[in-house]
A = this chain, B = another copy of it.
Amino acid sequence: MKEFFKVTTIEAVLALRNVFGRSGTERVGIEQALGRVLAADLLAPGDIPGFDRATVDGYAVRAASTYGASEGAPAYLAVVGAVEMGRTPIQAVGPGQAARIATGGMLPQGTDSVAMVEHTGVIDDATIEVYRSLAPGQHVVARDEDAAKGQTLLSAGIRLRPQELGLLAACGATDVNVFVRPRVGIISTGDEVVPVGAVPLPGQVRDVNTHTLAALVGQCGGQAVLYGIVPDRYEALLAVCRQALAQNDMVLVSGGSSVGTRDLTVEVLAALEQSRILVHGVSISPGKPTILAQCGAKPFWGLPGHVTSAMVVFMVLVRPFLAHLAGWINDAPVRVPARLTRNVASAQGRVDFVRVRLTRQTGEIWAEPILGASGLIRTMVASDGLIAIDLNSEGLEQGAPVDVVLF
């Protein structure tokens, strides 16, 4: 009855991403584009801001007119007008002259810098004195300083943050070409699993995995499609898996931590059209009994039934595949360096993932391992992230530096 997995390493599993293609693309309005993945490089359609622009309130001048100016020996300049916001200044400004300008205004012809109002004094309606010497370009954003026409500003494959949306707006992009969010079918199995709305009888548990996995999919930019709970019967599971494969870009079956249910998942996978098991067992803990198959052009995962194991496998393995489908290149999760609060043992020959809580003490960040059986969802609730203990390590000592991947 003992199972011999030919376990695959994490790296070997991740290398299989290239078996699969990427999502198609679509255009969405920039109001809807936060968190979406850019599908084409963004080139600057013109110079931005497109004109030399004041960064302070004051007087647009020719810098040379102020050379040598100081509090003791100010430069005296003739005020020849004021720049109106949003308009081309009609008047050129010559040597020894100045034009009033507000922050964001366009520098008049003949000027190259702005004297801050704080460094000037008003003599009369037509004359100011300037107390500091200016350099050309001072207090000015050059016409192409934010972007020069044709420059690549954003690369395809990045996930859009607020500032990227700002840059798109600056380029006049009211909508943007992004990858379609991959659809991910989620199936729970297990004769002991009942819907969240049901009252479990003794021996039954509520379906936690569907909701946890759906939220993880959403967080990573996918669209979860729920298929509910399927009993541990070949025909029932095969029918739902076939339907989920037809309707989605990837399928996750969770449940079946027992050998019997795992065998059932493998049997169903073998019966699916154009299917091929790529991975059956991964050298990680928790999550060893993970299955990855290729069904046509789509990845199909058999995840452990324990919710914490399923979450770890999602973060370590499924997430990078989802990112790949989604066209997302810069998908490395945030890692916070910390030190371990206590010794943690680990078995050689597998990568151990340990849930940790972060605490800050005496200016340092500490990672405190959260213990508990891998079926316990509260251990995930108590945690801020995961640390990995290497394949060849027998454990880490108190004080050891670790990288915490945040949830």
Which residues from chain A sit less than 8 Å from chain B, CB to CB?
1-2, 30-31, 34, 49-51, 53, 55, 57, 84-89, 102-106, 117-118, 122, 141, 145-147, 153-154, 161-174, 190-194, 196-216, 218-219, 226, 232, 257-261, 305-307, 311, 334-337, 363-365, 372-378, 380-381, 383, 401, 406-407
Partner of A190, one of B55, B86, B198, B199: B86
Q: Are the CB atoms of A163 and B211 closer together than 8 Å? A: no
Please give me the residue from chain B that is nearest to A375 by CB atom. B141
Taking CB atoms, residues of chain B closer than 8 Å to A214 are 31
Q: Are the CB atoms of B305 and A2 closer together than 8 Å? A: no
Q: Are the CB atoms of A104 and B206 closer together than 8 Å? A: no
Please give me the residue from chain B that is nearest to A88 by CB atom. B202
Q: Are the CB atoms of A205 and B381 closer together than 8 Å? A: no
Complex CA–CA separation, A169 to B401 (angstroms): 35
Q: Are the CB atoms of B259 and A102 closer together than 8 Å? A: yes
Complex CA–CA separation, A89 to B305 (angstroms): 21
Distance between A310 CB and nearest chain B CB, rounded to angstroms: 9
Q: Are the CB atoms of A103 and B162 closer together than 8 Å? A: no
Q: Are the CB atoms of A381 and B163 closer together than 8 Å? A: yes
Distance between A220 CB and nearest chain B CB, rounded to angstroms: 10
Q: Are the CB atoms of A193 and B86 closer together than 8 Å? A: yes
Taking CB atoms, residues of chain B closer than 8 Å to A401 are 363
Q: Are the CB atoms of A381 and B167 closer together than 8 Å? A: yes
Complex CA–CA separation, A214 to B365 (angstroms): 33
Please give me the residue from chain B that is nearest to A304 by CB atom. B103
Q: Among A153, A202, A219, A336, which residue has the most Cβ atoms of chain B within 10 A?
A: A202
Taking CB atoms, residues of chain B closer than 8 Å to A102 are 258-261
Q: Are the CB atoms of B153 and A212 closer together than 8 Å? A: no
Taking CB atoms, residues of chain B closer than 8 Å to A374 are 55
Partner of A117, one of B2, B161, B162: B2
Q: Are the CB atoms of A30 and B196 closer together than 8 Å? A: yes
Given contacts A86-B193, A173-B196, contact A166 B377 (CB under 8 A): yes
Taking CB atoms, residues of chain B closer than 8 Å to A88 are 201-203
Given contacts A1-B117, A31-B214, A197-B172, contact A311 B162 (CB under 8 A): yes
Taking CB atoms, residues of chain B closer than 8 Å to A117 are 1-2, 259
Partner of A122, one of B1, B202, B215: B1
Please give me the residue from chain B that is nearest to A289 by CB atom. B103
Q: Are the CB atoms of A211 and B30 closer together than 8 Å? A: yes
Q: Are the CB atoms of B334 and A34 closer together than 8 Å? A: no
Taking CB atoms, residues of chain B closer than 8 Å to A190 are 85-86, 104
Complex CA–CA separation, A89 to B86 (angstroms): 80
Partner of A105, one of B203, B212, B226: B203
Q: Are the CB atoms of A212 and B165 closer together than 8 Å? A: yes
Q: Are the CB atoms of A232 and B85 closer together than 8 Å? A: yes
